[in-house]
């Protein structure tokens, strides 16, 4: 099956409504990204077409330039559903509910860090467990405390001394989605999540110490507290086994209810239920609980990161680590756009609210929301700012990263005979990882060049370049 599309603006392509599509679809790409989509036989664009068939979807179905194939929805997909008539789909959120990134800024310069870089890498690796099945043995939460985390999010762990109250101001939704109900989360999900608070997980999750090597927008950089040569930390992780189990539980449940709700799907991975149904409500409450777990998870890792800097020799007054922003990229959230109540699914896509939005911290309202776009471990990441263009065109959404080009199996095969850790060390990047296989899976060649993705976002007006960050230390599972 081919996918018909036409260019309608710089970096902007439209797939006209056809077949069972209820709305047009729009995706963002450069010529290079178009060639990459062609190489995959437009598999992710076909998924976008499928998304456009869902009941209650509001035009257009969207995909960001980091688009690649995912479960049901393409990763990089955005689907806004009418809050009264639409459906909610766990595949439109993803298995790692509220996977996201948090950026910390410091008072340190790259030169301050260099003499203690190896030592800091060791302390970070020791303090922040990473990898498949990783658990914290020194920080435990009782079942009652875990339920508090699922209801309250980051606030629950700040109250217990993990971080500072001011951290909450700079987290999307202040680190708590409303409506969360731990009783909608299965015992199996609770069991999987309980020991994993404060851990990174595996795959593309990481903790990176970086430095600001370029500033593109001085006003926004100043608002975000960024300066050239500054040491920063980027944390990428989500809801671990708890979120995965919530998604698995509700996909299975929704598949059994499709005939009840008379929902016809081109792909069963799009399993959905009406937002206004008991099933839809149960999922949204369980999803919010898993999202709150993820916010708390990143908050704990922030606390352990500060401890690692201090153990390495940087006093709190010297490192000055503060949260710039914490931004989710696997959520469904109730929002108002153009006067209409919507449930916006973002899967591998982030909010990018523009200047003046009341949900933003006051210090950021003049310039727009920080948008954090991690790249691969060998090149760079970017900080963008949300724009009015994103509010007009993409329901206030932007890209979330570089986007994979190679499967993990292909990446491992390509890297097997290479000394990836040694090559990165020669470029001044210290790697600490649980296994070689994790590093092989995440080689730079496995990803699109994130600068290409960012140029599309910037050129299309759905995000504005602010700063570029280069890695110094990489901690992976």
As a three-state string, the secondary structure of the chain is CCCCCEEEECCEEEECCCCCCCCCEEEECCHHHHHHHHHCCCHHHHHHHHHCCCCCEEEEEEEEEEEECCCCCCEEEEEEEECCCCEECHHHCCCCCCCEEEEEEEEEEHHHHHHHHHHHHHHHHHHCCCCCCCCCCCCCCCHHHHHHHHHHCHHHHHHCCCCCHHHHHHEHHHHCCCCCCHHHCCHHHHHHHHHHCCCCCCCCCEEEEEEEEEECCHHHHHHHCCCCCEEEEEEEECCHHHHHHHHHHHHHHHHHHHHHHCCCCCCHHHCCEECCCHHHHHHHHHHHHHHHHHHHHHHHHHHHHHHHHHHHCCCHHHHCCEEEEEEECEEEEEEEECCEEEEEEEECEEECCCCCCCCCCHHHCCCCCEEEECCCCCCCEEEEECCHHHHHHCCCEEECCCCECCCHHHHHHHHCCCCHHHHHHHCCCEEEECCHHHHHHCCHHHECCHHHHHHHHHHHCCCEEEEEEEEEEEEEC
Contact 399, 454 (CB under 8 A): yes
Residue 467: CA atoms inside 13 Å, Cβ hemisphere, count?
Answer: 29
What residues pair up with 233 in beta bridges, in sequence order?
A: 104, 209
pLDDT at site 319: 97
Residue 199: CA atoms inside 13 Å, Cβ hemisphere, count?
Answer: 27
354 phi, psi to nearest 5 deg = -85, 180
Cβ neighbours of residue 405 closer than 8 Å, sequence gap 6 or more:
36, 68, 445, 446, 447, 448
Q: Is the CATH number 3.90.1860.10 carried by domain 6-476?
A: yes
Contact 135, 196 (CB under 8 A): yes
pLDDT at site 423: 83
Q: Which two tokens stand for residue 180?
A: 């969360």
- Residue in 295, 304, 300 with CA at minimum distance from that of residue 100: 295
pLDDT at site 410: 80
197 phi, psi to nearest 5 deg = -65, 130
Contact 87, 55 (CB under 8 A): yes
- Residue in 180, 186, 193 with CA at minimum distance from that of residue 240: 193
Contact 79, 200 (CB under 8 A): no
- Gap between the terminal Cα atoms of the chain: 38
pLDDT tens-digit profile, the chain (477 residues): 589 999 999 999 999 999 999 999 999 999 999 999 999 999 999 999 999 999 999 999 999 999 999 999 999 999 999 999 999 999 999 999 999 999 999 999 999 999 999 999 999 999 998 756 666 567 778 889 999 999 999 999 999 999 999 999 999 999 999 999 999 999 999 999 999 999 998 778 999 999 999 999 999 999 999 999 999 999 999 999 999 999 999 999 999 999 999 999 999 999 999 999 999 999 999 999 999 999 999 999 999 999 999 999 999 999 999 999 999 999 999 999 999 999 999 999 999 999 999 999 999 999 999 999 998 877 899 999 999 999 999 999 999 988 777 777 787 777 777 888 888 888 889 999 877 777 777 777 777 789 999 999 999 999 999 999 999 999 987
Positive or negative, the CA dihedral 131, 133, 136, 137 is negative
Longest dimension (CA), the chain: 64
Annotated active-site positions, please?
400
Chain-centre distance for alpha carbon 347? 8
pLDDT at site 28: 98
Cβ neighbours of residue 149 closer than 8 Å, sequence gap 6 or more:
141, 156, 157, 197, 292, 293, 296
């Amino acid at each position: 099956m081919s996918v018909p599309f036409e260019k309608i603006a710089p970096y902007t392509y439209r797939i006209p409504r056809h077949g069972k599509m209820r709305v047009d679809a729009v995706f963002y790409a450069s010529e290079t990204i178009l060639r990459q989509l062609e190489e995959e036989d437009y598999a992710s664009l076909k998924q976008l077409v499928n998304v456009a068939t869902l009941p209650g979807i509001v035009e257009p179905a969207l995909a960001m330039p980091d688009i690649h194939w995912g479960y049901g929805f393409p990763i990089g997909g955005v689907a806004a559903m009418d809050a009264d008539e639409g459906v909610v789909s766990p595949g439109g959120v993803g298995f790692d509910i509220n996977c996201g990134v948090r950026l910390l800024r410091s008072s340190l310069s790259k030169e301050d860090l260099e003499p203690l870089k190896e030592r800091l890498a060791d302390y970070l690796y020791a303090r922040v467990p990473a990898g498949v099945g990783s658990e914290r043995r020194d920080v435990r939460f009782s079942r009652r405390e875990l339920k508090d985390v699922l209801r309250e999010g980051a606030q629950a762990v700040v109250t217990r001394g993990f971080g500072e109250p001011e951290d909450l101001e700079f987290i999307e939704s202040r680190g708590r989605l409303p409506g969360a109900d731990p009783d909608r989360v299965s015992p199996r999900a609770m069991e999987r999540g309980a020991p994993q608070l404060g851990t990174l997980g595996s795959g593309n999750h990481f903790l990176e110490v970086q430095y600001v090597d370029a500033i593109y927008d001085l006003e926004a950089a100043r608002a975000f507290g960024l300066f050239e040569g500054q040491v920063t930390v980027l944390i990428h992780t989500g809801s671990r086994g708890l979120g995965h189990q919530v998604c698995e539980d509700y996909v299975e449940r929704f598949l059994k209810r499709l005939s009840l709700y008379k929902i016809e799907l081109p792909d069963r991975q799009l399993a959905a239920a009406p937002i206004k149904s008991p099933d839809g409500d149960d999922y949204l409450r369980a999803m919010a609980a898993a999202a709150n777990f993820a916010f708390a998870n990143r908050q704990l890792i922030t606390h352990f990161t500060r401890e690692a800097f201090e153990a390495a020799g940087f006093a709190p007054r010297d490192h000055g680590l503060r949260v710039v922003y914490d931004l989710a990229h696997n959520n469904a959230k109730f929002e108002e756009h153009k006067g209409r109540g919507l449930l916006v699914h973002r899967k591998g896509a982030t909010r990018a609210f523009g200047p003046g939005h009341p949900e933003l911290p006051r210090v950021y309202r003049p310039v727009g929301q920080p948008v954090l776009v991690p790249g691969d471990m060998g090149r760079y990441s970017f900080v963008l700012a949300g724009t009015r263009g994103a509010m007009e065109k993409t329901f206030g959404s932007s890209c979330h990263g570089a986007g994979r080009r190679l499967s993990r199996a292909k990446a491992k095969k390509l890297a097997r005979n290479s000394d990836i850790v040694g090559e990165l060390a020669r470029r001044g990047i210290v790697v600490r990882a649980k296994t070689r296989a994790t590093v092989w899976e995440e080689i730079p060649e496995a990803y699109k060049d994130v600068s290409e993705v960012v140029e599309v976002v910037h050129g299309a007006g759905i995000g504005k370049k602010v700063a570029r960050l280069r890695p110094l230390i990489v901690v992976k599972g």
